[in-house]
Amino acid sequence: MKHLDATLHARGESVFVGDHHLPENTLHGALVTSPVSHGTLIGINAAKAAGMDGVVRIVTWRDVPGENQIGNMIQDEPLFAEDEVSFIGEPVALVLADSPLKAGKAAASIELEISELPAVTDPRRSFEMGMLIAPPRTFSMGSIDEGLKNCQHVFSGRADSGGQEHLYLETQVAFAVPAERGCVRIHSSTQGPSFVQKVAARVLGIPMHRIEVDVGRLGGAFGGKEDQATPWAVMAALGAHLTGRPVKVRLDRKEDMRWTGKRHPYSSDYRIGLRDDGKILSWEVTYYQNGGAASDLSTAILERTLFHATGAYFIPNVRATGISCRTHLPPNTAFRGFGAPQAMFVMESAIHHASRELGMKPWSIQEKNLLRRGDRFPYGMTSEGDELRRSWNRVMEELKLDRSDSERDGSSGGTPVRKGLYLMPVCFGISFTSTFLNQATALVHVYTDGSVGVSTGAVEMGQGVNAKIAQVAAGTLNVDISRIKVETTNTTRAANASPTAASTGADMNGNATAIACSCILERLMAFAGDCLKVPEGSNLAMLDGTVTVDGRPTDLHWEELVEQAYLARVSLSSQAHYATPDLYFDRISEKGRPFAYHVTGTAATEVTLDCLRGTYTVDSVIVVHDAGESMNLIVDRGQVEGGLLQGIGWVTMEELKYAEPGGELLSDSLATYKVPDIYSAPEEVRVEFLENRGKNAGVFNSKAVGEPPFMYGIGTYFALLEALTSYRPGIRAGYSAPMSSHRLLTLLEDDRKVR
Ligand code: LUZ
Ligand code: MOS
């Protein structure tokens, strides 16, 4: 089954927030934001703007009737700056005018009087200055000292990974319409409608039931709209509330790139201890997370980093410390993987480091340490299942690698066009690490003609969650999928919904849908039993739209049954709640069962590097991925391929450049910030789904798919290093992503000079 929106998208008929027909009296918002990274806000000179053509209102923090506060986990982020600005792009004022152009002109004429203060953009510097977002946390298991006693080799180093722009196709946008009794209806491009509702109510100083948030679909999100769709939606609501007119707020691409947060850059120190045979006995790591100017989701992201400190490996002695550092950059935020990719990059850096020093092939160290069934993670869970090893073995089989040949070849010189290979095993925990977020609801209506409407808290952002929800509804009711319509995500139909995030959208909302549908089906079957006057104890079921009794079809079909049930006053609606079972976590001991299950897989990446030019191609990526019993292979393949490409982009070409000092983002457009396109995509991407052999905790025996494949992309970084070292074994490239062509060329040049 295809993505539900495939035809609409191809024909350009899908409706996004920006496609809504605007009422004639709609106002358009334009923002005045901080031009400096840090400063004292002394004054706002808006006298000229106030008199400009079409300008209706200029909104600042003084106009906020409720709280000027949009913080999520920690309340440290004003909607509009009050007396201090702490990042470039921090909103100071919102100009409302009757056209976007007039609003933009007026906003440009507003002068901010700011006394600049020193800015900190480096997390280690922030740490030295004590600018922490929260106290550091440490996850540990075993004893580092004991572990090191048995290690013949200890290597330490530093690994840095850069940020990443989400580059959702649809930039941040919201549209709010005032309604009677001081209510506001918001159309927002958000992953978290209930969070938008909550913050809008807080800012407007009204109860949540006066705010309705409706989400049709998003043109991509990738985590960038989990928290950071909120300010624009709340501003639109505030504008509507203050003026009594509809208000639209939309960022253009450059504004979006400059003003919104990104994946967190990390700078990390590691110390790895190994035995002679390559077995890792000890792992110590400290992560300095670049949080940006407000906490946003940084503490949750750092927590997920700590959960993934050992990646896909078992290490008996671990101490992992995470430090969330406040800096004067836009608040960094959720991005596919949510801190886990940063952890895995450090782990692979250390393994690569050790493999070089020991003269071993990286894959032989990886294989020796790969998680086995029953191995314990530092946070107390055990590794269940053998899927990771099965995917690893499948990839090894495909590559025909000779396991007896575990030594690196130390060749040097020769042709400057070199190949590099790297395997990337991935193990990713599924569930929100904040246990309370692991709940969802569904509301299902069967109409008298037999058609079905399903509402859940899941947001369709292109990932295909609606296709899976429709499949769950059709599969549970056992009617044709054409009878199912998945409705918009709306806070009046799905209340208190968690954001569609953490790869849990289909699992949790799908399970809630299954419960609601089963409930309706049970009532219908009881009613059918009465209609058909079947003997007590008969087994009634729905099979492809027909009622069966003890497996034999009857003349009673879905439409007739529904119609008769309605006339007999049987309820055709159901609301259900699903809470992922058996999750707990104790933040004192840092132990528990934070995840419902893990998703695993292995990728093998082969690259060709031209060591004269620094240019490279990714020749092939073989992925063997565990999707359980996939609900939808087309959707899942799309997620694996898309995630892989996005991961490759993160570690190769996607480079955020900032002016120094000052911290102004220089790579603020697609001319200067490069993402993988069809020309830089691997020549060959081969995705194989692991044969399902077990019972899975995901919906309909499947497994979540959204985030894990991102991390397959990390292998490309190390494949490039492998190619580089085969030509110049002496090069110490360090571990700093992204490895752009520019950086490769610089490394090669510097090496030539040394020679
Ligand atoms: N969002 C969140 C997430 O609030 N908690 C999580 O654990 C998470 N994990 C991945 C992506 N988004
Ligand atoms: Mo996400 S990073 O699952 O919003």
Which residues approach ligand 2 with their CB closer than 6 A?
191, 223, 226, 334-336, 338, 501-502, 707
State residue 732's pLDDT score.
86
- Is there a contact between 702 and 630 (Cβ–Cβ < 8 Å)? yes
Closest CA to 517 of 438, 579, 455: 455
**Separation of CA 259 and ligand 2 centre (Å):** 19
Q: How far apart are CA 388 and CA 407, in angstroms?
A: 24
Closest protein CA for atom 8 of ligand 1: 502
Question: What mean pLDDT comes out for the span 282-308?
Answer: 98
pLDDT digits (tens, 9 = 90+) for 662-716: 899 999 999 999 999 999 899 999 999 999 998 999 999 999 999 999 999 999 9
User: Which pLDDT value is given to residue 224?
Assistant: 98
The residue whose CA is least distant from atom 11 of ligand 1 is 502
- pTM value? 0.98
Using a 10 angstrom Cβ sphere, with 0-12 exposed, 13-18 middle and 19 or more buried, the burial of residue 261 is buried
Could you tell me how far CA 111 lies from the centroid of its own chain?
37
Q: Model confidence at 337, in pLDDT bands (50, 70, 90)?
A: very high
Q: DSSP string of 222-274? A: TTTTTSTTHHHHHHHHHHHHHHSS-EEEE--HHHHHHHS--BPPEEEEEEEEE
- What are the φ and ψ backbone dihedral angles of 362, each rounded to 5 degrees? -55, -40
Rounded distance from Cα 586 to ligand 1 centre (Å): 17
Per-position b or e across 406-416, b if 16+ CB within 10 A of its CB: bebeeeeeeee
CA of residue 462 to ligand 2 center, whole Å: 13
Instruction: Report CA-CA distances (Å) from 520 to 195, 453, 562.
Output: 30, 13, 10
Q: In the structure encoding, which two tokens stand for residue 434, read together?
A: 């904040």
Spatial distance between the Cα atoms of 192 and 499, rounded to a whole number of angstroms: 4
Q: 369 CB under 6 A from ligand 1?
A: no
What is the CB neighbour count within 10 angstroms for residue 257? 24
Give the pLDDT confidence of 492-548 residue by residue, as tens digits: 999 999 999 999 999 999 999 999 999 999 999 999 999 999 999 999 999 999 999
CB of 501 shorter than 6 A to ligand 1: yes
Q: Which residues contact 277 (CB under 8 A, 6 or more apart)?
A: 368
Terminal C-alpha separation, the chain: 59
So what's the pLDDT on residue 677? 92
For residue 639, the CA-to-ligand 2 centroid distance in Å is: 13
SS3 of 115, please?
Answer: strand
Q: Distances from the Cα of 189 to the Cαs of 192, 200, 213, 231, 438, in angstroms?
A: 9, 14, 10, 11, 22
| 432 within ligand 1 shell (Cβ under 6 A) | yes
Could you give the residue ranges of the DSSP H alpha helices within 84-229? 100-109, 123-128, 144-149, 193-204
Query: From residue 96, how far is each of 104, 327, 474, 537 by CA, in Å?
Result: 9, 31, 46, 67
CA distance 258 to 667: 9
Judge whether residue 168 has pLDDT over 90: yes
Choose which residue among 305, 433, 587, 711 to substitute to test ligand 1 binding: the one with the highest number of ligand atoms within 8 A of its C-beta: 433
- Is there an atom of ligand 1 within 6 Å of 304 CB? yes
Whole-angstrom CA distances from 447 to 444, 519, 520, 558, 640 are 10, 15, 12, 11, 37
Q: Which residue is closest in CA terms to ligand 1's atom 3?
A: 502
Three-state DSSP string of 23-60: CCCCEEEEEEECCCCCEEEEEEECHHHHCCCCEEEEEC
Q: What is the pLDDT of residues 36-87, one digit of tens each?
A: 999 999 999 999 999 999 999 999 999 999 999 999 999 999 999 999 999 9
DSSP string, 711-755: GGGHHHHHHHHHHHHHH-TT----EES---HHHHHHHHHHHHHH-
Q: Which residues pair with 576 in a beta bridge?
A: 442
Average pLDDT over residues 97-116: 98
| pLDDT for the residue 411 | 66
Whether the link from the prior residue into 738 is cis, omega within 30° of 0, is yes
- Distance of alpha carbon 205 from alpha carbon 242, whole angstroms: 12
pLDDT at position 754 over 80: no
Cβ 502 vs Cβ 337: under 8 Å? no
> If you measure from the C-alpha of residue 255 to the centroid of ligand 1, how many angstroms do you get, rounded to a whole number?
25
Ligand 1: does its nearest atom lie under 6 Å from the Cβ of 307? Answer: no
In this structure, of 226-235, 271-280, 405-414, the range with the lowest mean pLDDT score is 405-414
434 lines ligand 1 (CB under 6 A): yes
Atom of ligand 1 nearest to the CA of 303: 7
The proportion of the chain whose per-residue pLDDT surpasses 90, expressed as a percent, equals 95
Strands 546-549 and 111-116 come out as: unpaired
Tell me the CA–centroid distance for residue 501 and ligand 2, in Å: 4
Residues 6 or more apart whose Cβ sits within 8 Å of residue 405? 361
Instruction: Show the beta-strand stretches assigned E in 390-539.
Output: 417-430, 439-446, 452-456, 484-486, 489-490
Nearest ligand to the C-alpha atom of residue 223: 2
Phi, psi angle pair for 391, to nearest 5°: -70, -40
Judged by its nearest atom, the ligand closest to the C-alpha of residue 706 is: 2
468: nearest Cα among 595, 639, 624: 639
Q: Are 531 and 567 in contact (CB under 8 A)?
A: no
Q: What is the distance between the alpha carbons of residues 712 and 623, in angstroms, rounded to a whole number?
A: 8
Please give the radius of gyration of the chain, using alpha carbons only, rounded to the nearest integer: 27
The residue whose CA is least distant from atom 4 of ligand 1 is 432
Residue 635 contacts residue 3 (beta carbons within 8 Å) = yes
Pick the closest to residue 322 from 590, 648, 713, 50 (CA basis): 590
Report the residue among 164, 189, 226, 227 best suited for mutation to probe ligand 2: largest number of ligand atoms under 8 A from its CB.
Answer: 226
> Residue 412's pLDDT is what?
65
Q: How far is the CA of 497 from the centre of ligand 1 (A)?
A: 14
Please work out whether the CB of residue 242 comes within 6 Å of at least one atom of ligand 1.
Answer: no
What's the pLDDT band for 126 if we cut at 50, 70, 90? Answer: very high
User: Probe ligand 1: pick from 190, 222, 264, 297, max atoms within 8 Å of CB?
Assistant: 297
Helix (H) or strand (E) holding 565: helix 558-567
**Does residue 707 carry a catalytic annotation?**
yes
CA distance 662 to 347: 32
> Using the 8-state DSSP alphabet, how is residue 682 labeled?
-
Mean pLDDT over each residue of the chain, to the nearest integer: 97
Of the residues 225, 338, 463, 509, which should be mutated to test ligand 2's pocket, given the most ligand atoms within 8 Å of the CB?
A: 338
Confidence of residue 635 (pLDDT cuts 50, 70, 90): very high
Query: DSSP secondary-structure letter at 532?
Result: H
Task: Please tell me the distance from the alpha carbon of residue 712 to that of residue 340, in angstroms, as a whole number.
Answer: 12
Ligand 1 touching residue 300 (CB < 6 A): yes
Residue 518 CB partners (closer than 8 Å, separation 6+): 476
Amino acid 662: pLDDT = 87
Tell me which of 90, 641, 654, 707 is the catalytic residue.
707
pLDDT of amino acid 1: 78
Distance (Å) of CA 20 to CA 130, 241, 539: 47, 20, 49
Nearest ligand 2 atom, CA 335: 2
Q: How far is the CA of 172 from the centre of ligand 1 (A)?
A: 20
- How far, in Å, is the centroid of ligand 2 from the Cα of 503? 7
Give the nearest ligand 2 atom to 707 CA. 3
Q: Does residue 611 surpass a pLDDT of 90?
A: yes
Ligand sitting nearest the alpha carbon of 459: 2
Q: How far apart are CA 205 and CA 665, in angstroms?
A: 35
Which DSSP symbol is given to 171? P
> With 70 as the cut, is the pLDDT of residue 24 above it?
yes
In the chain, the percentage of residues whose pLDDT exceeds 70 is 99
Residues 6+ apart with CB under 8 A from 336: 222, 223, 643, 646, 706, 707, 710
Nearest ligand (C-alpha, residue 221): 2
Cα–ligand 2 centroid distance for 156 (angstroms): 31
Q: Which of 442, 534, 435, 433 is nearest to 490 (CA)?
A: 442
CB 135 within 8 A of CB 672: no
Residue nearest to atom 4 of ligand 2 (CA): 223
Is 607 near ligand 1, meaning CB less than 6 Å away?
no
The number of the ligand 2 atom at minimal distance from the alpha carbon of 223 is 4
Residue nearest to atom 5 of ligand 1 (CA): 432
410: confidence class by pLDDT, cuts 50, 70, 90: low
| Rounded-to-integer distance, Cα 342 and Cα 321, Å | 13
Residue 139 has pLDDT above 70, yes or no: yes
Tally the residues of the chain: 755
In the sheet that holds 540-543, the strands lie side by side as 540-543, 546-549, 552-557
